[in-house]
Structure formats: structure tokens, C-alpha cells
């Protein structure tokens, strides 16, 4: 019974609404946010080979190509999130779920 009395106090009207609050986002700015982020390319396959003494090695060129692709991917995704994709898409998807769309 105490929980029933405390619940309206804990869960205010804004926290219990069925739509996202107006976050003060400028629609002109959010319209320019990317809706998807494309990978910059395929990660090159690892080209390991075994030396006669049993050690497994990877050519330096292959290692650098893989590291560069991972770095390009990280930068692409970082830039997408910096361009507000995460906040805008989350708010739009949350509204759609709460509205039952």
C-alpha cells in the first residue's frame, strides 16, 4: 500500500508519459542527421603463414591494411554519432514504439 501511494510521487507526469518529451531539438538540424551509417569497406582477410620453425607470421602490409580499415570504420561511426544520429534515431524509434506504430 505504501508503494501505491509513493508511485505517483516517484513517477511524475513527464516520466510516465507515452511520448518522448520535447527535447528542444531543432527539426531543421535533425533532418540533416544521417539515418544510417555505411561501413567504409570490407576488412581484408588475415594472411598468416607458418615458418619452417613453426612460428605463424602475418605480413606487415596485411597488418597495416587491417588496422587502417578498422581505424576508418571507427572514424566513420564516430562521425555518424557526432552528427546526432544516436539521439535523433533513438527519440524517433522510441516515439514510434510508444505510439504503437
- What is the value of pTM for the model shown? 0.50
Whole-number Å distance between alpha carbons of 80 and 82:
5
Whole-number Å distance between alpha carbons of 63 and 43:
11
pLDDT reported for residue 77: 83
Q: What are phi and psi of 58, to 5 degrees?
A: -125, 135
Q: Interior CA angle at 89 toward 83 and 94, to 5°?
A: 150
pLDDT reported for residue 72: 93
Of 100 and 25, the one with more pLDDT: 100
Annotated domain spans of the chain: 2-99
Rounded to an integer, the average pLDDT of 46-60 is 92
Do 93 and 100 touch, CB atoms closer than 8 A? no
Do 47 and 99 touch, CB atoms closer than 8 A? no
Per-residue pLDDT of 16-35, as tens digits, reads 555 555 555 566 666 667 66
Using pLDDT thresholds of 50, 70 and 90, give the confidence band for residue 43: confident
Per-residue pLDDT of 63-91, as tens digits, reads 999 999 999 999 988 887 777 766 777 77
DSSP category for residue 56: E
Amino acid at each position: 500500500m505504501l508503494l501505491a501511494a509513493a508511485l505517483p510521487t516517484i513517477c511524475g507526469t513527464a516520466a510516465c508519459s507515452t511520448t518522448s518529451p520535447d527535447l528542444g531539438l531543432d527539426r531543421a538540424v535533425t533532418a540533416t542527421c544521417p539515418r544510417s551509417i555505411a561501413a567504409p569497406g570490407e576488412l581484408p582477410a588475415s594472411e598468416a603463414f607458418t615458418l619452417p620453425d613453426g612460428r605463424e607470421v602475418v605480413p606487415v602490409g596485411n597488418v597495416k591494411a587491417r588496422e587502417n580499415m578498422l581505424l576508418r570504420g571507427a572514424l566513420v561511426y564516430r562521425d555518424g554519432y557526432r552528427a546526432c544520429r544516436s539521439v535523433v534515431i533513438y527519440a524517433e524509434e522510441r516515439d514510434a514504439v510508444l505510439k504503437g506504430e
